[in-house]
Structure 1
């Protein structure tokens, strides 16, 4: 089941060596599959390599963050 961006959100997968952006994602047994707006697979990210998974709203908050 794909989880999409009904409100135009962009999902960010934070990895040890950078980040990936996706319009849709699917959680599977061993990781997350990231898709673009045309449902093309961009990447598979194993849970072991996924440090965080956020929407762009996480960057818009003016309050203090947790590190």
Structure 2
């Protein structure tokens, strides 16, 4: 009897609309995370060049030993 119920539950057709909504939701979420990653990299680069322009950091190695 139990096997008959399991087979009956597994034979239901998936909802196409639900799958589309899940796909769109996952796509937007992953796109937002990717975009936040790029915004973070852009912020780091801007801070680096601002410090470099202000003379607070230097990228030339001092070899006077």
Tell me the TM-score normalised to structure 1 length: 0.18
More helix by share: 2
Which has the higher Rg, Structure 1 or Structure 2?
2
Higher relative contact order (CA 8 A, sep 6+): 1
Tell me the TM-score normalised to structure 2 length: 0.18
More strand by share: 1
